[in-house]
Amino acid sequence: MSAVRVLPLSSANYEVHHLHREDRAWVEKNCYVDVWIEAIHALGLDPTAMLAFTVGLDFEGDQWAFFKPPHRDLSQLYGIDVFELNVWRGDILAHAQHHAREGKLVFTEADAFWMPDTSATDYRRQHTKSTIVINAIDDENQRLGYFHNAGYHELKGEDFAHLFRVGYPHDPAFLPLFAEYARVDRIERLPIQKLATVSIDLLRAHVARLPLVNPIRRFAAQFPQDVAWLQNEGLPLYHGYAFATLRQLGANFELAAIYLDWLSTNGESGLGDAQVAFSEISSGAKALVLKTARAVNAKKTVDFAPLLEEMAGAWDRGMECLRGRLR
């Protein structure tokens, strides 16, 4: 089949969105929100407008929610429609070629073991599920152009063959990974003031459904038990725990603070106190990552309560500000 491409991109000269700048506290957030940031950016739209959902982050007991942009928000802000892709052939490559040919971006889970952009972590080291967005496919030359984490990348050859199981014998036990496609043929490029108006209306809806109890205080009540358990398990397990908890908490609220700054820049007043509070939560989570790693490694008791209480107080102040501003 011929090569197909949705957007005319090259990894050699692709410029990432400022949300992924190296000076960010959390350059990579999570695999799903990261690819949406870059896909929306590559479409010539501003992904900052979609970040209203970050205010609603909740603690689920074993992890902080894996925060994602709701599809309804993407539709209202940009005219992007997202649907689940039924991989009924059992072959994601064939489906991705079809939808890319029709101008759709395909989001799919993939194994980071075969993705060279993860050379510092997973590439050829460990099998880890992540999310990519397929933009360009050349199956004849086994090349792929894709969004992943904080950028746009390309892979080829053996990595392509393993990622898509090209040449594998049929395995009836293999189950296709979850996938979606995004229709971008009805994109709306709203003027900035209209975009901000739509976005703050979405923020109002998300604020109306905030967690009923301060989630950082719930997390703080459990955290000492988690640390004691991790001290018996060791650093390898801690890294997974930190990604599911502290990184999600910190990255989410860094995005929330940046989002409120964007709204303020575009004419929305009264959000400064919330922006400062959310920045404090992000900074506190960053400090906790390092302090907790040292505590787990040294197996020493550390009192995290003062820092966690500061973060919980920041959550209260930030949400009080938003409720007052948006009521």
pLDDT in tens, 69-113: 999 999 999 999 999 999 999 899 999 999 999 999 999 999 999
- Which residue carries 């500061």 as its tokens? 310
- Which residue carries 């992540």 as its tokens? 130
Residues of the chain with pLDDT under 50: none
- In this prediction the pTM is 0.96
Using the Cα atoms of residue 265, residue 268, residue 271 and residue 272 in order, give the sign of their dihedral. positive
Closest residue by Cα to residue 145 from 33, 38, 32, 31 = 38
User: Both 217 and 267 in a single domain?
Assistant: yes
User: Both 261 and 147 in a single domain?
Assistant: no
Whether 73 maps to a domain, the answer reads no
Q: How many CB atoms lie within 10 A of CB 304?
A: 16
Closest residue by Cα to residue 292 from 216, 234, 221, 215 = 234
pLDDT of residue 174: 82
Instruction: Tell me the CA distances in angstroms from 302 to 99, 146, 228, 288, 297, one per residue in order.
Output: 52, 43, 10, 11, 12
User: Both 29 and 157 in a single domain?
Assistant: yes
User: Both 16 and 111 in a single domain?
Assistant: yes
Whether 115 maps to a domain, the answer reads yes
Q: Are 255 and 19 in contact (CB under 8 A)?
A: yes
Q: What span, in angstroms and rounded, lies between the C-alpha atoms of 247 and 241?
A: 9
pLDDT in tens, 263-283: 999 999 999 999 999 999 999
Q: What are the phi and psi torsion angles at 315 (to 5°)?
A: -60, -45
- Tokens representing 3 are 């090569």
Chain-centre distance of CA 183, in angstroms? 20
Give the chain's domain count: 2
pLDDT of residue 327: 82
